[in-house]
Amino acid sequence: MQTVKVGLLGLGTVGGGTVDILTNTLPEIERRLGQKIEITIIAVRDLTRSRPVDTSGIILTDKPEEVVNHPDVDIVVELMGGTGLAKTLLETAIKNGKHIVTANKALIAEHGNALFSLAKEHNVIVNYEAAVAGGIPVIKAVREGLAANKIEWVAGIINGTGNYILTEMKKPGADFAKVLKVAQELGYAEADPTFDVEGIDAAHKLTILASIAFGIELQFNKVYTEGISKVTADDIRFAQQLGYEIKHLGVASRAENGYSLRVHPTLVPKDVLIANVNGVMNAVMAKGNHVGPTMYYGPGAGAGPTASSVVADIIDIIRWKNQPVADQVPALGFAADQLESAPVVSIDEIETCYYIRCFVKDHSGVLAKVTAIFAESNISMENVHQEPSVEKPDDATLVMITNSVLESKMNEALLSLAQLDAIDGDIMRIRLETLG
Amino acid sequence: MQTVKVGLLGLGTVGGGTVDILTNTLPEIERRLGQKIEITIIAVRDLTRSRPVDTSGIILTDKPEEVVNHPDVDIVVELMGGTGLAKTLLETAIKNGKHIVTANKALIAEHGNALFSLAKEHNVIVNYEAAVAGGIPVIKAVREGLAANKIEWVAGIINGTGNYILTEMKKPGADFAKVLKVAQELGYAEADPTFDVEGIDAAHKLTILASIAFGIELQFNKVYTEGISKVTADDIRFAQQLGYEIKHLGVASRAENGYSLRVHPTLVPKDVLIANVNGVMNAVMAKGNHVGPTMYYGPGAGAGPTASSVVADIIDIIRWKNQPVADQVPALGFAADQLESAPVVSIDEIETCYYIRCFVKDHSGVLAKVTAIFAESNISMENVHQEPSVEKPDDATLVMITNSVLESKMNEALLSLAQLDAIDGDIMRIRLETLG
């Protein structure tokens, strides 16, 4: 049996999980692989800290360049995060002919194009299964399993924190602020929750999913991103009454003149399976022109699930490493010279249905004025619901589901609506996807 | 660009779907692959029949040996079904050095061990993604995506016909016979539905899933198989009232002294996602020791979905074919000399919870007698529900959910129960899996 040597950058949660797998489940892995895997060296931040995993026999260093320059190391696994030092170290590792595994979604989404190109030049593999949806092998499923299809769209619950919050907000008396606090206490949300709650983490992952679905360059800065902090418990209740759940989705779809990449709260019909994905779990749907809709479900974070994908990537590299990378699955699933240049369109250019919720001063004739505004813009209604407001006792709450319309047209209508005297406060607009 | 040449055995539904993909979606596939794929020759049963797909430029023959012996063909795709001629033809193809793709679950489940061994000897690949769960890339997900895990169990809805019937039986007034008739009219069920309804098709697929999950030889003849024809609409209603859905599951799990492989109707808690998989759709759960529970969902049959997996297999072969098969993912995911010999245990040795439903003559003291029998066998109850029977107006229907117990103990208890005078007719027993 050959022994393949691995160097780790980082020994936090996922690093510890990776050491755990490559210690405790190694016999099962060697039954699959017929080769041995050894962790040779790990770069840590603080050499004096005690470790929850056994690192005996492994060199620990606080100089990460020792990992990427180590002559025995075949595969460098980057689990330190960030887009600065991590990027520099991986560039060095690639130039040294090391294969790369990373769980770093920000790094891939923001600098993947350059990294993949450098890796190709040096004939090494860069694998990143753990960067999207943690333990779910969704990169492999879309890039290889659905390779016979033209992918029409992907849509996913790709941030567990956000999904946990929206799930808990269904409970009586819950609201965003309260649930966020509980999530922080449970360790599901960071002290500064912006990254998860405002959709930036999801946008990183969606960037990657869109590229492997359509064969386009990574374009993180083109993703429209909207968080869940404005969604109220009432919105969730109204949506449920109308047959929907509200999920924070990343959606990448083909548009008339390019592609649409967006992260936003979304009404999804209850009878679509992904509407029933609750708590911290993740799920990604991918619709291919031949296969139809498929879905991949599992834990999107945590030591075990993320390390499961990291180690699967290591195993893949070991199987592939004697073959020229040009013959292998390309980094983004499509041959590098075949990536399409059609643009990512502005959010104004998408066409979708909408949930609209607003407070109206409850006097006669308001509904007529509101519906007249939508009628003028040729926006037809699927559903209109009005009930006394609990929050504002003098008002009524007006909830509408529209038929499909161009976002720019909807914006015009909402602008007119906001100018009506009868409208009290902000108007909530949530996009709706049938995912059919 | 190189051109890889493919020969097809069979031009039925899936064969037509394969030709469709390799005609209409070929440009997208070539963007991924950087190589060309050409269908050179197809063996059909009747040369005079008209075809729904364009076969111009392709040799059609009614002599299938011409496909497996064709000197230009690199990959033979078997879509004819059956375990006789298909097997002989594939053996010839393998001996001729052709790589193999097959959608034939019966062939793999019953003769896979010998075929894989022959293929290894001749250094060719045998891919069979389409044999389990149609368009869902579940073989790839379990064999590669979860390769870092010791798989604890797999459980799946792997027969769309059965799932359609159980889903439709939830509607008011529906019963098994009526729904089966509709399924036959819609083309979801065969004129002789035995293969689907009695679980044989699911047992073929479960055999394959168990082997790739645990690294054991294919052992179709050891699978315990029970169909859905005895499940009544009342059972489904009672289960729902108690918080469960009834699904026809294939389950493969680790048992104390080996493995448990079984296909049977199963109560699944409603809040487990797979309980919400309805209609003809398939879904497979796999739980790994590190990743936890994952699920793969999509269409389990039909021309497009099945051909999607067939063509993905072709693409994989094209990427891998210049590499010795010994370095590749082994046929069953584990190195051939590492397959475990622990036995598949008898159904008597499984331990699970049960749903029990029977009719009792409604006089006082019956419930005490029934519960005494279970108490004597140390079987405790999670739930007991009694209501007047609609079907048998003089009787009551008694529904019980037990805690976990060895099947052989449950059989003893049911035997005693059947001997009570108060029990009217057959006792229904359905196993329950929490899938946690």
Q: How confident is the model at residue B58 (pLDDT cuts 50, 70, 90)?
A: very high
| A307 interaction partners in chain B (CB closer than 8 Å) | 148, 290
Average pLDDT for A83-92: 98
Residues of B with catalytic function: 205
Average pLDDT for A127-156: 98
Q: Are strands B351-361 and A381-388 parallel, antiparallel or unpaired?
A: unpaired
Interchain CB contacts (distance < 8 Å): A and B? 218
Q: Tell me how crowded residue A34 is: count the other CB atoms within 10 A of its CB.
A: 18
pLDDT at A131 over 80: yes
Q: Residue A330 and residue B146: Cβ atoms within 8 Å? A: no
| B316 interaction partners in chain A (CB closer than 8 Å) | 144, 147
Q: Which of B4, B144, B211 to mutate to test the interface with A (most CBs of A within 10 A)?
A: B144
pLDDT at A363 over 80: no
Average pLDDT for A328-356: 95
Q: Residue A312 and residue B147: Cβ atoms within 8 Å? A: yes
Q: Which of B294, B319, B322 to mutate to test the interface with A (most CBs of A within 10 A)?
A: B294
Question: pLDDT tens for residues B142-176?
Answer: 999 999 999 999 999 999 999 999 999 999 999 99
ipTM of the complex: 0.97
Q: Which residues of B290-300 are buried (b: 16+ CB within 10 A; e: fewer)?
A: bbbbbbbbbbb
Question: pLDDT tens for residues A371-384?
Answer: 999 999 999 999 99
Q: CB-CB: which of A308, A315, A334 is closest to B291? A: A308
H helices present in A361-430, as ranges: 366-376, 407-419
pLDDT at B111 over 80: yes
List of residues 6+ apart from B162 with CB closer than 8 A: B196, B197, B199, B202, B227, B228, B248
Neighbouring C-alpha atoms within 13 Å toward the C-beta of B251: 26
Q: Which residues of B118-131 are buried (b: 16+ CB within 10 A; e: fewer)?
A: bbbeeebbbbbbbb
Residue B175 and residue A16: Cα distance in Å, rounded? 53
Rg (CA), chain B: 24
**Measuring CA to CA, which residue among A215, A430, A164 is closest to residue A331?**
A215
At B256 the pLDDT is: 86
- Chain A's closest residue to B130, CA to CA, is A145
At A268 the pLDDT is: 98
Question: pLDDT tens for residues B189-224?
Answer: 999 999 999 999 999 999 999 999 999 999 999 999
At A393 the pLDDT is: 87
Question: pLDDT tens for residues A56-66?
Answer: 999 999 999 99
**Measuring CA to CA, which residue among B307, B12, B301 is closest to residue B159?**
B301
Domains and CATH numbers, chain A: 3-136+303-338 (3.40.50.720), 141-299 (3.30.360.10), 350-432 (3.30.70.260)
Residue A18 and residue A309: Cα distance in Å, rounded? 9
Q: How many helices (H) and strands (E) does chain A have?
A: 14, 17
At B1 the pLDDT is: 73
Average pLDDT for A379-390: 92
| B215 interaction partners in chain A (CB closer than 8 Å) | 28, 31-32
At A375 the pLDDT is: 95
Residue A230 and residue A226: Cα distance in Å, rounded? 10
Q: pLDDT > 70: what percent of chain B? A: 100
Report the interhelical angle of A160-168 vs A176-185 (nearest 10°). Answer: 130
**Measuring CA to CA, which residue among A41, A31, A18 is closest to residue A101?**
A18
The answer to whether residues A366 and A424 touch, using CB atoms and an 8 Å cutoff, is no
Question: For all residues of chain A together, what is the average pLDDT?
Answer: 96
pLDDT at B390 over 90: no
Question: pLDDT tens for residues B137-149?
Answer: 999 999 999 999 9
pLDDT at B364 over 80: no
**Measuring CA to CA, which residue among B54, B84, B56, B73 is closest to residue B8?**
B73
Q: CB-CB: which of A25, A33, A299 is closest to B150? A: A25
Q: CB-CB: which of A135, A327, A335 is closest to B292? A: A135
List of residues 6+ apart from A142 with CB closer than 8 A: A151, A154, A209, A212, A213, A284, A286, A333
Amino acid at A238: F
Q: CB-CB: which of B28, B298, B319 is closest to A328? A: B319
At B33 the pLDDT is: 95
At A174 the pLDDT is: 94
